Structures are given as structure tokens and as C-alpha cells.
Structure 1
């Protein structure tokens, strides 16, 4: 030990104990005394174990043993956690078997003992190994919450003045403690669950989402490398803004986009991130109709009620349901709660068992063409 810790107080303690014990030893000719003791038949053979060993060598051995006894007592008062490590269960030969878990005892933990020589005989039976029962509390359940995650989808019947993509909302379960961060991770790395939806943020790696002074900062290790036209780039940027604000349940807070703590990168080839972003008017970036209670491939019972959101002229939402095996079709329309503004609608359907494609769409008042649509494929039991 002194080779590695020349100033170790433990080492000094050993040396002092040995020196003090050696000073008390006075060598003498003990042979006559030993012979006299042997002749005394009625007297005990030995009162002290060290007398059985002849000469000064026996006294030296006893001194060493006494020194280590003093060391052990002093060590316990000096702080066991600094001298001895965690308790260890050993085999009959003294080799460690496995750690013994501590149970919060206030007493010192003894260090494992080892044989003093190769001739030491092990006990005839192995010691009974006991393991303290592990104390395990019931883990606290992870709380989850549903948050909106937005995706891009191609718009039907777009004109040259409109973006070719729109935002579509889905609901995802995330960890309640950090909903915005988890929502962005889904948006950047997961599939939407609908083949008609996709994300322009694939390949981005988010680091953190923080809020301070009315600004939400989304920091990325790496921003997306996708190139879009200018109109689509604006909608793709709003995909992040809508998702983060929705997860934090505050559509009024501004959003800052940084990469490794620094703003100023260019998104999608057009969008300068040195400025703060606000939520764009919904009618300019959101799909004008979507189904929000069904997921692609969902198994459902009959009757089926389809619900969604639409901003429809005269509140009219058209629908069509097609059996993908028999090609049987049902069609009709319902009215949303309000016209021209985003409001809920519901479509009650009675469908035979099988695989169905359900569509909700809007029709242009000018030429009768389909302008916006959303669809889900479900299995009816």
C-alpha cells in the first residue's frame, strides 16, 4: 500500500502499532520456565497460546498479531467507508463469490478475509450463503398524453397561386413530462401511419425544446436537408410551428429554430431561421378537410361514425365509402357545424363487414371539381 500512497494514515497506523508492540517485548531465556510448567501436572498446559511457541520468534509473532488487532479496532473508529469496501460473500477458500447487497445498516461493513497461507485448511462444510432480500419499490408509471402532430399531404386541385401541400393533423401519445420534444421527435423520425402523409423534416435530429419569455426554442443537432419550392417550404416550416405550439397548448407563442444553439441557417432552401416564427393563418396552410377519429388500417365495428374538421363552402362535406373487395359504394354529404371556417362534422355509416375506403372531400362551387380530400382505409367487423 505504501508504494501507492506514501502518506497514507492507514500505513502510518500499522507502523506505529508494530513499533509499540515491539517495544513491549523483552527477549529472555524462557527454557527453564517452560520445563517447570511441563512438570506441573495439575496446572493447565498453557494459559496463553503464544507460550507454546519457543523462543523469541514466538514473541515476535505474537507482537505482529497484537499489532493487527489494534489496527482493526482503530480502523473502525477512523471511518469504515474509507478503508473497507462493500461486503462480499466468499467461498470456503476465501475467494469472492458475489457481492452482498447492503440493506441500509448503520454498522461498519467488514472487509473479506483471505487465507494466511497455502496450508490453511478450509472448513469441512461450506458456509451457508445468505443474500439479503432486495428492496424494490413499485415503479412510478410513466404518464402519457395525446398531442397533435402535423404532417404534409398533397392538395387536390391546387392552382398556381396555392401551395401544393397542406398540413394534416394526427394525434400521438407521448411522455407527459416533455410532450413538445417527443412530438418533434415523432415528426422528424417516425411514419405518420397514413400513406398519404409525410414529413419534410425527416433526417433532422432534435436536441431540445425549451420555453422562455414567451418564445419556444427548438434546437437541432442537424436540420433537414430537403429542398422545396418557396410555397411548400413555408408550409413545411409551419409543420414544426403547429406541432410545437399544439404540444404546448399555446398557439400564440413564437417559435425560434436553432442548430446547435445558433440561428441563421436556411431551411428547405428558402426559409431564414434568424427570425421568429408565428402560426400562419390556418386557411392558408391547413388542409380544408380531414378525418381525425380513424387511423389507416384500423379495425372498427359497425355502425361507423366518421368525424373530422372542415372549412367548407356552405358547410357542405361530401363523403364516399367503397368496399375494396366488392366495389360496393355508398356516397352522400353532411353539413359541418359552420361554413367556411374550420368546424367539426360527423358522418354516420352502416357498412357490411370487410375492407372499406372512406373519403371526405370538398367540391368547388365554381366548376364542381374536387378541391380537398382526406381518406382512410378501415376493416369493419
Structure 2
């Protein structure tokens, strides 16, 4: 074995052990201990890679701690990556849909765990939901909402998913994100949640499946297309908060799956994330909140899947009716891609819109808007 291993983990362990050693203050009995050690000392072979169990535990703990520090401003990279490329395509029921092309291997559905199997006993006591809650010190996590799609056709669902960000401090990000989705307002009058009135109990992970258990499921009844997108509202929110877009999401009520969501969607199997282009809005503004007070100049940023990478924008002063309009290019065309709109606005209340233009009839489609107050 090399006496001077060139390994980052070993180096981290050595540093951790050195730091622990520096913290030790010898007791008054040190001279006596040293005397005993000298009287019993035996020649030993130099093996710097041998560690005691206690030292190894200290070094491992220090190493884990060094790699699990989370930046307060961290965002979920996995969530953004899926927004920009086709993912696993499944229906809201978790079964593959022939109407949705599968451009990536489907996420395999694991065998049901004790948390997701239907009960086999007639006992009235609800089964406990097994699994490990995931905790996080502080992070910005996504919460998804529903919004009406502008310029829709009858062949498409009239609602789409829109993303906002919220900061979770010293909590369970997925559980907190679901609580916001089910009980809070989005902060934008154009966004809403089909899950209002639902009462979430826990979000746990076991056997490769995330189980979201509800004390009460939403009572809203929707048509099949809207119910599919509304189900994905939960899937996208949970997976985004956990920073893992490939985790199947099982819905249970008081520990039992099987109840229908929105009067349509079977919950007996876990749900996978649907392809972004099937359920997400094609344009959204994500750095401004509706009603926000801001200064000029400002830059409006967001995500868009724009034909030929062309995104249109319009800013209207709601008092004077002054209107500015132009277009910008997104980073990529025909794929979810970032955009930035630089604006120089006078004082007042402004409505800022980002939208696409139909290649068929020239009408505005897929509009997202924010109203801001410019100082």
C-alpha cells in the first residue's frame, strides 16, 4: 500500500482527525499515562492507513458534514433540467399513455411497500405510513400552480403548470411545499391550486417511492384533462422540492391508496412525472411577483419554449396606457430555455407580459404576466 495515498477522502479524514486532535486538552494525569505507556511500549509497524473505530467514525462524520452543507440560495437543479428536456412520459394514473411519446426510458414502478399496499385487514385503525422524512436546513424550493392557457385549442388541456419559488428554513421541504400548495395563495391572481382544502399529513420516502399521505384529499371534481394536470401539480412540486424528478409519487389517504383524485384519477399506483411540454406552461416569468415594487431599469427573466427562439413582450402603463413592445431571443428554440427582457420604465403601475405568437393565425398565445409598481 502506498504510504502517501493521493485521495481526497483520505485527505479530508486526515484533516478532520487533526482538527479533532487539536481540540483535545490533556488532563492532569497525562504524565502518569505516558509513563505507563513507555513501560508497556512495543515496536509497531508504521501503517498510516490503520484507524481505530472511533477515529474512523469521527472522520466519516466530518466528511459527511463537509459535503452536506447547503447554500441558503440553492435551487433545485434537477427541476430545471427536466423543464428543459423531455422526461419520462406517463399518464396521471402512472400507467404509460399512448398519446404521450416516450423519449426516455420509463421510470420502473417498484414493488409496493407496506406504505403503499392496500390494506388486507378489516381493522378500523388506519395503517401507519412508513418511510423517512427528508429534512433540509434552508433552501428555495419550487411550488407549482395551475393557470389558464391563453390561445388553447380544444385538443389541449386549458390549464398548465406555472412555477413559483419559496424559501424553506429548517424544515421538511417537500412537506412544506405541499402545505403551501394546498393552503396558501400563489401570490398571483392568474394562478390557483386544485388542491385547496386538502390536508397533508406527511411526505416520506421508502423503497424508491415518495409517499404523500393526506388526512383529507381535495374534494374538487375536474374533467379528465384538468385532473391530469392537477395531479401533476403535486408530482412536480414534490419532486422539485426533493430535487429528484425521477422519484415516483404515491398518494395515500390516512395510509391507504386507492381513492380517486378529482373524481377521475386512480391512486392505486405511484405517479411519474409527465413530459414537460404536455403539462407545463410554455412561458413563465419567474423573477417578479405580482404587485412587486421595483426600480427602473429592471430585467425580467423566466423560461420559455418558443418557436424559433423568439419570445414577444409588452409593457403597459396602466394609468397613461403608454405601451412598449418588442421581442427577445431565448437561448434555444423549441425547448424550455431561459430568457431576459431588459426594461427601462417610468414611475407608475405597469403590466408586463411575455407571450408567443401563433404561427397559424398570428394571435397571442401562452401569455404570462406580472403587474409591478415602478418607483
Structure-1-length-normalised TM-score: 0.62
Q: 1:313 and 2:307 equivalent?
A: yes
Output one character per residue of 1:268-316: Cα deviation in whole Å (capped at 9) or x when no partner: 1110000110000000000000000000111111101000100010011
Distance of 1:305 and 1:214 partners within structure 2: 40
- 1:256 pairs, out of 250, 253, 268, with 250
- 1:243 pairs, out of 223, 237, 243, with 237
Residue 170 of structure 1 aligns with which residue?
Answer: 164
CA positional deviation for 1:149: 0.1
Q: 1:279 and 2:281 equivalent?
A: no
SS in 2 for 1:269: coil
SS in 1 for 2:171: coil
Residue 6 of structure 2 aligns with which residue?
Answer: none
Call closer, same or farther: CA 1:301–1:374 in 2, change over 3 Å: same
Distance of 2:208 and 2:187 partners within structure 1: 33
Flag as ranges the 4+ runs of structure 1 deviating above 2 A: none
Which one scores higher on RCO, CA 8 angstroms, separation ≥ 6?
Answer: 2
CA positional deviation for 1:369: 1.3
Residue 191 of structure 2 aligns with which residue?
Answer: 197
Q: 1:370 and 2:367 equivalent?
A: no
Count of matched residue pairs: 240
- Confirm or deny: 8 A CA contact 1:147 1:171 kept in the other structure: yes
Residue 302 of structure 1 aligns with which residue?
Answer: 296
Q: 1:186 and 2:188 equivalent?
A: no
Aligned alpha-carbon RMSD (Å): 1.0
Distance of 1:282 and 1:299 partners within structure 2: 31
Distance of 1:378 and 1:147 partners within structure 2: 23
Residue 343 of structure 2 aligns with which residue?
Answer: 349
Distance of 2:240 and 2:272 partners within structure 1: 13
CA positional deviation for 1:176: 3.9
Residue 149 of structure 2 aligns with which residue?
Answer: 155
- Confirm or deny: 8 A CA contact 1:294 1:376 kept in the other structure: yes
Residue 72 of structure 1 aligns with which residue?
Answer: none
Unpaired runs of at least 5, structure 2:
1-135
Distance of 1:256 and 1:216 partners within structure 2: 6
Output one character per residue of 1:205-245: Cα deviation in whole Å (capped at 9) or x when no partner: 00000011211000000000001110000000000000000
Distance of 1:280 and 1:176 partners within structure 2: 30
Residue 16 of structure 1 aligns with which residue?
Answer: none
CA positional deviation for 1:188: 0.1
Residue 379 of structure 1 aligns with which residue?
Answer: 373
Distance of 1:149 and 1:161 partners within structure 2: 27
> Larger Cα Rg: Structure 1 or Structure 2?
1
Distance of 1:322 and 1:371 partners within structure 2: 18
Structure-2-length-normalised TM-score: 0.63
Residue 223 of structure 1 aligns with which residue?
Answer: 217
